A and B are shown apart, each in its own frame.
Chain A
Amino acid sequence: MNELLQQLINGLALGSILALIALGYTMVYGILRFINFAHGDIFMLGAFAGFYLAPRIATVLPLPSVAGALAVLVISMAVCATLGVLIERLAYRPLRKRPKLTVLITAIGVSLFLEYTGQFVFGAAPKKFPEILPGFAVMHLGHLSFNSNQIVVISVTLLLLLALRFIVLKTRIGMAMRAVSFNPEAAALMGVNPDVIISFTFALGSALAAAAGILWAINYPSIDPLMGILPGLKAFVAAVLGGIGNLPGAALGGIIIGVTETLVSGYLSSTYRDAIAFAILILILLVKPSGLLGKKEVEKV
């Protein structure tokens, strides 16, 4: 029983990170109807932003410390938000009117570009992510013990999800995002500049991916330029599982994949852990292609 709860917490932590990445896929899909395959690499860049920022932040704030870690997190998010906006401007916007396949292939190109540039600039060898949070404390709750990092991952994710929910449901630009996602032509007739919404969506998605990168690096402190590939693919599966374009769906999908993967590798076999996500993908495509929370797009006449 304790063992199971323990595994659930591990799964929840992994799932939280996947959920944060999945949201970026699903938001961009909601607005532009294309899969930004370079999104997993933003996650990687988030971790590297943190890696290079930490020593600089250490000169002004104590590190490891909560304040220092928060600064690393927030600045990395800002850096990646900017990168996401730039990538859209330079790579995707010129192709806005082209067939979706062209954009998709470009996204794969951008992904490869980021991975190889990463290897060139950061070096291909894994780097050790600095300790930015105080103490690898193990907390005991009854018979349960879990380390403070997992609590940090889960609670930071929760806060970010709440913030995202607030932006999407309660702000003017969030409302415009939902309007563009539903009908871009009608949104334009309301005075919405689609470029602004698209840039904002990339900024938001990339910031969340960067947060995921930092949280990942806190938990698994070895980072390398190809680290985004697998989590990126799994998060993409999570987005499809939840129903691509659906925000709560992406979060749910991430949690499901994270928990399932952890349970399977904990109880059955860890050999297949990376295959779990793809087994789930095949299953969902067969059973409910629109995803758990996805709706078929119906047009009311």
Chain B
Amino acid sequence: MLELNNLKVTYGAIAALHGISLSVRSGSIVTLIGSNGAGKTTTLKAISGLLPVQAGEILYDGKNIAGLRPHEIVARGLSHVPEGRMIFANLTVRENLSMGAYLVRDPKIVRRDLEFVFATFPRLQERVQQISGTLSGGEQQMLAIGRALMAQPKFLMLDEPSLGLAPLLVKTIFEKIVEINRARGLTILLVEQNASRALEISHFGYVLETGQVTVQGDSASLRQNAQVQSAYLGG
């Protein structure tokens, strides 16, 4: 469904991604793990058009989407839940979800998606009229994911959804990710520093180190991989 071929991204003169390649099969959860500064966020931002691509291809359903602008990429069904959540704190919960559905013109679909989001995250329904800046961190993460789901995505990118959350909430968020993947057949690219959890729920994984893919494999085998264990699983 999504394929990166030799993707290079630079910040000014400094290269952040030195030509990475990866592929995400339709319907799967693929995780991209790596320590701070490895280039995970840069990868997602390049895919969603927030960063210019220096070289290489981003093939989505076989078409190169590199060079398109973010709003054109969302329109093709790629949704990005950014690092730090980036909810619109000045808008209500309801308005944030409406922003997610910005490109969806059919009110019936919007209503149906809203029901799905509320069924997935009942907390959001209780707080629809609340200004979202007043939500807790966990609720803001739910809102960020819910908002992305409102865009009718076929491909969902999540950037460290567990960051800064209490362990119990981390567990919930990961369960929800699996649920969304199953219920909607949504393909997911999950960026995480919490490698053990990410490898538990994903089908395939890539390890990113200083802008390069160093290890890849199905998630079960990565969990057994000695190198991965010592560097990312605290083993």
Contacts and interface: CB of A to CB of B under 8 A. Distances in A.
Given A172-B102, A178-B91, A189 B82 contact: yes
Given A190-B100, A190-B102, A182 B151 contact: no
Interface in B60-101: 69-71, 74-75, 79-80, 82, 84, 86-91, 95, 98-100
Contacts of B37: none
Contacts of B102: 172, 176, 190-192
B89 A175 contact: no
Nearest to A186: B86
B117 to A, nearest CB: 14
A182 B91 CA distance: 9
Contact of B74 (A178, A179, A191, A301): A191
Contacts of B70: 185, 188-189, 191
Interface bin, chain B: 20 to 34
B133 A300 contact: yes
A301 B50 contact: no
A273 B89 CA distance: 41
Given A175-B99, A176-B102, A300-B140, A191 B88 contact: no
A191 B133 contact: no
A79 interface: no
A117 interface: no
Given A175-B95, A179-B99, A189 B74 contact: yes
A190 B86 contact: no
B103 interface: yes
B89 A187 contact: no
Nearest to B95: A175
Interface in B95-116: 95, 98-100, 102-103
Contacts of A182: 88-91
A179 B88 contact: yes
A190 to B, nearest CB: 5
A178 B88 contact: yes
Contact of B88 (A172, A186, A193, A301): A186
A147 interface: no
Contact of A185 (B50, B74, B75): B50
Nearest to A196: B71
A188 B95 contact: no
B71 A191 contact: yes
B114 to A, nearest CB: 15
Given A172-B102, A176-B102, A178-B91, A190 B147 contact: yes
A74 to B, nearest CB: 29
A183 interface: yes
Contacts of B122: none
26 contacts: A172-B98, A175-B91, A176-B99, A179-B88, A181-B90, A182-B91, A183-B86, A185-B82, A186-B86, A186-B87, A187-B99, A188-B50, A188-B69, A189-B50, A189-B70, A189-B79, A189-B82, A190-B74, A190-B99, A190-B102, A190-B151, A191-B102, A191-B103, A191-B151, A193-B69, A194-B71
